[in-house]
Amino acid sequence: MNPLRRQFSLSLGTLLAGSLLPGRVLAAPESRQALIAAAWRGLSKNDPYFAGILHADWQARKLEIRHAVPLPSRPHGLLPEADGGMLVTAARPGTWLMRCDNQGKVVQQIAQDDSSLLRFCGHAIVVRDSLLLTTETDHATGRGRIGVRDLQTLKKLDDWDTHGIDPHQLLLDGEGHLIVANGGVPRTLADKKHDLQRMESSLVRIDTNTGKLLQQWRLDDPRLSLRHIAWSHAPADGDACLGVAIQAEHDRAEDRAQAPILAVLDGERLFTPTRANDNFGYAGDIAAAWGGGFVLSSNQVGLAQLWHPATADRMTPVVKMEEAYALASWQSGGVLVATALGLVRTHPTMKSMILPWPQPMALDNHWSLISEA
């Protein structure tokens, strides 16, 4: 057997059978292909970064790069746009924001003012089809800001206080207001952590009309950094819970290894539903899964796990593969997982599938499903 094929065959054995997973599951409708916004570099840490569109052909079991754009530095968040293009935000402490069209051409790129100490924190969201909101840090004060920009021109119109430090991912709630995860980690302009005893991580709800603080939530342990967030389903549908991926910042590795990696915002209450974790204390991404659950990735230990409200005291492994990291929700509660070997498609009613990368490449932290057919 071809060594690479054998490696993939062995890896498939690390994907958990759907019958072992909790909760009522809807069958996934058959799709033939998917388009995914992604960012990557070569296998060397010094290789250049690219952002582009990956085309997954499930029937042909093939993954190809539809187009790719070279990037100035490492990216982080990717935001697909209605016309098939996407916005790419530089990784923290970021100095650029780029818009690519659906043909893979750079049509806009802005940079933070050289005289400013504002830096992008990696994520953005669109509000009312007219504004782009970005998480930023003002390194003159160390405080978190929300950059308010015109969606078409990317010109900055305003900025708002995040009422915390180290803001990271942001989403809209069912009323169109902003939920921001303040990671709470003090950082230098070179992104070096310091004075962790001053951590102040929180979730905040901000009025998208006025920029005013509406609500704020914190966990009891200040060393739990709240970073990435996902709704269990569309918040406008009602009764949605917000899942929060946690990264532990305790001084001792033993404490980090015992820390929870998931928090849930259920209406008005923010809590950690389980102490089950990854034995490392680092959830890198989170995505909605079947039945109101969430999948969390822990790339440091090569693991993606399901938390489900029907079995709220435990985590169930769904993928055990090196560098399991970027997650995207897929049809009817399935999840797409980026790993060192390729794209894993997992759903409890279907046999898991791996599509190998089309070239030697290392996916970055996040990706986003654009469309399926």
Predicted structure pTM score: 0.93
CATH number for the domain spanning 294: value is: 2.130.10.10
Answer yes or no: is 24 within a domain.
no
Cα separations in angstroms, 131 against 21, 162, 209, 365: 40, 17, 11, 25
Tally Cβ neighbours within 10 Å of residue 356. 15
Q: What is the CA radius of gyration of the chain?
A: 20
Number of residues written out for the chain: 373
Residue 56 within a domain: yes
Phi (first) and psi of residue 211, to 5 degrees: 80, 5
CB 18 within 8 A of CB 349: yes
Q: Which of 66, 63, 67, 69 is nearest to 48 (CA)?
A: 69
Q: Would you say residue 23 lies in a domain?
A: no
Residue 28 resides in a domain: no
Determine, yes or no, domain membership for 14. no
Does a structural domain hold residue 222?
yes
Number of domains in the chain: 1
Written as six digits, the tokens of 41 are: 């570099």
Residue 11, in any domain of the structure: no
Rounded Cα distance, 243 and 229, in Å: 6
Give me the domain span that covers residue 50: 35-372
Dihedral sign for Cα 320, 342, 328, 134, please: positive
Q: Does any domain span residue 5? A: no
pLDDT string in tens for the chain (373-residue length): 333 343 443 344 445 444 445 555 555 556 789 999 999 999 999 999 999 999 999 999 999 999 999 999 999 999 999 999 999 999 999 999 999 999 999 999 999 887 789 999 999 999 999 999 999 999 999 999 999 999 999 999 999 999 999 999 999 999 999 999 999 999 999 999 999 999 999 999 999 999 999 999 999 999 999 999 999 998 888 889 999 999 999 999 999 999 999 999 998 899 999 999 999 999 999 999 999 999 999 999 999 999 999 999 999 999 999 999 999 998 878 999 999 999 999 988 888 999 999 999 999 999 999 998 8
Sheet of 327-329: strand order equals 327-329, 335-338, 342-346, 353-356
- From the DSSP assignment, how many helices (H) and strands (E) are in the chain? 2, 29
